[in-house]
Amino acid sequence: MELANTSSPEGGPGAGVLAHLERLEAESRKKFEEPQGAESALGNKIRNLRSLRDKLRAEVNRRQAGVTSHKASVEPDQTFEVSEQEVLERKRENVKSILQAYRFTGLSGKLTSRGVCVSISTAFEGNLLDSYFVDLVIQKPLRIHHHSIPVFIPLEEIAAKYLQSNIQHFLFSLCEYLNAYSGRKYQADRLQSDFAAFLAGPLQRNSLCNLLSFTYKAEPSGQSFPFCARLLYKDITRTLPTDVTVTYQGTDALSTSWEEQRASHENLFCTKPLHQVFASFARREEKLDMNLLY
């Protein structure tokens, strides 16, 4: 059988076969490229969406950071204001509770627009004596607005130690100083008013009444030489002296009996209130008078 001539010149029957082959090749290439183009378009879309997502996420993070920063600048001040107010309210209620709980011990007071005014009533041996007040301003820090505490009571020292840290200790410590002062003053006043007959001269005392000196006779109606007493209260929260010196005037060398009496007086002044010591002298004198009568 004779084969067809495919290498015939251009324009012959072979030209149609070549054209047909070219069309098949073009169609095949087209079908192959279409899926690749679709895949490429989908990839671009995914990349665009991811880029948009990243931008949105960055924007959200930026705004959240701004809100957090704003809260950080505002909330601490608000928290501080609330916390400070709560602390002041607690201190106010604490002072009120202390005054209510210890109203029978000489502490009383009333709330004021600034804080609280505390009244301290002193007493000795069941006798009501002087009263003092301290007007406290409840703020941060606590401070004393006005007071009637004598200048020789170490109010500033007591406040520096306890006012900011322990209001109860501050009030109790102040009461201790004032009661001790009032007690010492009461004893000195009683000596001058009730036992003046025993004194051989004026009673000398300082404003705090923690140093007393006087000359006295144990037997006011007798002719014996007087004793000289010096009472020192180193601890000004006490009503009894810490140091007592009693000397005897009139002779250079004391007899044994007078020395025993002098030492006995020193011991009495150290252990008993001043007016009680002289009350015992008075009872002894009365007993001696009664013995003379019978």
Give residue-wise pLDDT tens across range 100-116: 655 556 788 888 888 89
Alpha carbons 292 and 288: distance in angstroms, whole number: 6
Give residue-wise pLDDT tens across range 224-254: 678 999 999 999 999 999 999 999 876 655 6
Q: Which residues of 218-243 are buried (b: 16+ CB within 10 A; e: fewer)?
A: bebeeeeebbebbbebeebeebbbee
Q: Are 156 and 94 in contact (CB under 8 A)?
A: no
What's the DSSP call for residue 207? T
What's the DSSP call for residue 269? H
Q: How many other β-carbons are positioned within 10 Å of the β-carbon of residue 197?
A: 13
Mean per-residue pLDDT for 161-169?
91
Enter the pTM of the model: 0.65
Q: Are 114 and 122 in contact (CB under 8 A)?
A: no
Structure tokens at 26: 């073009």
**pLDDT at residue 291 above 80?**
no
Residue 107's Cβ-side half-sphere holds a number of Cα atoms within 13 Å equal to 20
Q: Name residue, tokens 């279409």.
A: 34
Q: What is the mean pLDDT of the chain?
A: 79
Predicted confidence at residue 103, as pLDDT, reads 57
Alpha carbons 164 and 161: distance in angstroms, whole number: 8
Give residue-wise pLDDT tens across range 258-271: 888 889 999 999 99
